[in-house]
Amino acid sequence: MFEKRLLEAAGQVIRNLYGQEFDLSKLTIERTKKEIEGDYTLVVFPLLKLSHKNPEQTAGELGEALMKKLPEISSYKVIKGFLNLILADDYWISFLGSNFSKEDFGFSPVARDEKVVLEYSSPNTNKPLHLGHIRNNLLGYSLSQILTANGFPVVKVNLVNDRGIHICKSMLAYMKWGHGETPKSSAMKGDKLIGKYYVLFEKKYKEEIRDLMEKGLTEDEAAQQAPLILEAREILRKWEAHNHETVSLWKQMNEWAYQGFNETYKRLGVDFDHIYYESQTYLLGKDLVIEGVDKAVLKRRDDGSIWIDLTSDGLDEKLLLRSDGTSVYMTQDLGTAQLRYEHYHPSQMIYVVGNEQNYHFDVLKRVLLKLGKPYASRIFHLSYGMVELPEGKMKSREGTVVDADELMEEMYSTAEEMTRELGKASDFPQKEARKLFEMIGLGALKYYILKVDPKKNMLFDPKESIDFNGNTGPFIQYTFARINSLISKAESMHMMPGPDFQSTGLLLQPGEKDVVKLLMIYPQVIRQAADELNPAVVANYVYELAKSYNQFYQELPVLKEENTDLRQLRMILSVFTASVIGKSLKLLGISSPSRM
């Protein structure tokens, strides 16, 4: 990279000019702001103690010396204490010619040894996937692609929450009011059918709480003593005791949920290498809890419940096993972590889980540390913000969530409506048109969510996300399709550049140079996205690239350019841009239509 060579050259020049070594970590080199002439900027203020000159003089003599040292530098400008270096056009053109045909440009050529286990999705089998799950799945899948592009071997895993009191609530409601209904008899997806009974349970449960409160109980007392919750707890105890009838119903209802989830995953375009089920890990978690008691790390209370005291760590006491022997979420997460370590021995276990679980993962790591587990320090919770709608927060128990399937269908319909209005699919056969609407609708959804830093809460507006102008998925997809159309035309006219293009003496226009400079930083963008575990870095980069290309395309002719070398150069620029846009969208899990 030129930045590295520039830094090394600056160190040598400073030593030659001032006769002293300089700590190069204190020298700031950054890309020059777009509105200022220049390509790289050096901040010279830290050098004034060495030069004993004013900022302008110091910058000037440094610029002269760097020009002699590095032939890529054609000139420089000094603005107060800032040295703006301008690179020769041949440098940028040489970069284009050397890299435009490399399919793996930007991706790590070296495979790493540090295996990463990446968990995302983690649905509950008592309800269908909703908008919050969509953000989770999109973040997880995109991160798996970004980490893979950086050379990490990634294992994509899903932990299905298929047991526990919430599952028992759906089961109880179905037992009481289901009358043998099935997904087939009701023409409903299985996950939606089960979600219907979960909502019904909560409705009836609240009615019981109100009745008990009218009889003089407090709200907490009523919530604990309501007949429905007592029955649900009894079902949980029967399940853990392997009661045949209870387990049979549980298996049937979970199978309905799995079938529904798989349909949603397929349309959303996400997948997994391994699926864990809490029903298969909670017993291992129980073993770890008992182990902790034996080591005197955990304490068993008089009622038989087992706790960990984290007050010395600034937290509180945490329940790990109930007095009746049933497990809690923490129990099964302990078991799952142990199982993943045994399966993969990863260098890192990343959990993509919402920020409402920050405390949970803090406790998980601390418990494992106190148990002396070697993988405790390898756990990383990628805590992401909540998704809200213009009308407010979603609530699963009240059935006010935005269903994932319904949202994807709405995105499809909106994409179809807007695309037809703009006449962008008027000549498409019906099958191809449907495929295009799906690409645009899901592309809009994915990009709108992924362009936001994961740590931030976000407001999702479906209508705003589908726009062929502005910072949206359809705008980037349209740019990709536009370039592909240009490439197809160039191929038919036999105007495509060869892989060994070389040209000197050409002068780049500002619009061309803007695009080239963005293409050059693509490898750094991919690394940054992996380092920060942040797909938004890629999303916002590819938008800037598409925007810069569109400006270049509007200002300068490509196929109509009469100068053969310039035409070849602009086609190379176009081919390279299409490649980087396509790869960037793929890292985000977004499909790229070849024409629109």
- For residue 104, tell me if it sits in a domain: no
Q: How many CA within 13 A on the CB side of residue 78? A: 15
Q: Which of 365, 398, 431 is the last residue of a domain?
A: 398
Radius of gyration for the alpha carbons in the chain, expressed in angstroms and rounded:
30
Work out whether the CA dihedral 240, 246, 252, 254 comes out positive or negative: negative
- Please give the Cα distance from 261 to 186 (Å, whole number): 17
Would you state the pLDDT for residue 418?
87
- Looking at the fold, whether 392 and 414 belong to one and the same domain comes out as no
- Residue listed under structure tokens 């799950």: 133
- Please give the Cα distance from 311 to 257 (Å, whole number): 39
Would you state the pLDDT for residue 2?
86
DSSP 3-state of 48: helix
* Residue 81, token pair as written in the block: 């204490």
- For residue 102, tell me if it sits in a domain: no
* Residue 572, token pair as written in the block: 């190379």
* CA-based nearest residue to 528, from 3, 153, 146: 146
Q: What are phi and psi of 382, to 5 degrees?
A: -80, 95
- Please give the Cα distance from 360 to 105 (Å, whole number): 40
Task: Check which CATH number belongs to the domain holding 444 and give it.
Answer: 1.10.730.10
Would you state the pLDDT for residue 391?
63
DSSP state of 377: G
- Looking at the fold, whether 11 and 48 belong to one and the same domain comes out as yes
Task: Check which CATH number belongs to the domain holding 80 and give it.
Answer: 3.30.1360.70
- Residue listed under structure tokens 């041949």: 90
- Looking at the fold, whether 66 and 152 belong to one and the same domain comes out as no
Cβ–Cβ under 8 Å, residues 358 and 379: no
Would you state the pLDDT for residue 465?
84
- For residue 528, tell me if it sits in a domain: yes
Q: How many CA within 13 A on the CB side of residue 113? A: 0
List the beta bridge partners of residue 300. 306
- Looking at the fold, whether 207 and 83 belong to one and the same domain comes out as no
Task: Check which CATH number belongs to the domain holding 225 and give it.
Answer: 3.40.50.620
- Please give the Cα distance from 366 to 376 (Å, whole number): 8
Domain containing 172 equals 120-398
- For residue 97, tell me if it sits in a domain: no
* Residue 320, token pair as written in the block: 């790990």
- Looking at the fold, whether 440 and 557 belong to one and the same domain comes out as yes
pLDDT one digit per residue (tens) for the chain, 596 residues: 788 999 999 999 999 999 988 999 899 999 999 889 999 999 999 999 999 999 999 999 999 999 999 999 999 999 999 999 999 999 999 999 999 989 999 999 888 989 999 999 999 999 999 998 999 999 999 999 999 999 999 999 999 999 989 999 999 999 999 999 999 999 999 999 999 999 999 999 999 999 999 999 999 999 999 999 999 999 999 998 999 999 999 999 999 999 999 999 999 999 999 999 999 988 899 999 999 999 999 999 999 999 999 999 999 999 999 998 888 889 989 999 999 999 999 999 999 999 999 999 999 999 999 999 999 999 999 999 988 877 655 444 444 578 899 999 999 999 999 888 888 778 889 999 999 999 999 999 999 999 999 999 998 887 788 888 889 999 999 999 999 999 999 999 998 887 777 776 789 999 999 999 999 999 999 999 999 999 999 999 999 999 999 999 999 999 999 999 999 999 999 999 999 999 999 999 999 998 88
- Looking at the fold, whether 47 and 181 belong to one and the same domain comes out as no
Would you state the pLDDT for residue 392?
52
- Looking at the fold, whether 44 and 178 belong to one and the same domain comes out as no
Cβ–Cβ under 8 Å, residues 190 and 254: no
- Please give the Cα distance from 382 to 379 (Å, whole number): 10
- Looking at the fold, whether 416 and 394 belong to one and the same domain comes out as no
Q: Are strands 348-354 and 379-384 parallel, antiparallel or unpaired?
A: parallel
Query: Looking at beta carbons, which pairs linking 207-211 to residues 24 or more positions away fall under 8 Å?
Result: none
- Looking at the fold, whether 416 and 384 belong to one and the same domain comes out as no
* CA-based nearest residue to 47, from 77, 16, 3: 16
Torsion of CA 423, 427, 428, 430, to 10 degrees: 90
- Please give the Cα distance from 486 to 82 (Å, whole number): 41
DSSP 3-state of 384: strand
User: Which residues 6+ apart lie within 8 Å of 371 measured at CB?
Assistant: 288, 291, 292, 295, 297
Q: Is 301 left (phi over 0), alpha (psi -120 to 50) or beta?
A: beta
- Looking at the fold, whether 393 and 426 belong to one and the same domain comes out as no
* CA-based nearest residue to 82, from 111, 55, 52, 104: 55
Q: Report CA-CA distances (Å) from 284 to 119, 136, 317.
A: 19, 26, 22
Burial label, 126 (beta-carbon count in 10 A; 0-12, 13-18, 19+): buried
- Looking at the fold, whether 306 and 234 belong to one and the same domain comes out as yes
Q: What are phi and psi of 119, to 5 degrees?
A: -100, 130
Cβ–Cβ under 8 Å, residues 118 and 144: yes
* Residue 403, token pair as written in the block: 């269903």
Would you state the pLDDT for residue 400?
54
| DSSP-assigned letters across all residues of 137-195 | HHHHHHHHHHHHHTT--EEEEEEEB--SHHHHHHHHHHHHH-TT--HHHHT--HHHHHH
- Please give the Cα distance from 201 to 177 (Å, whole number): 10
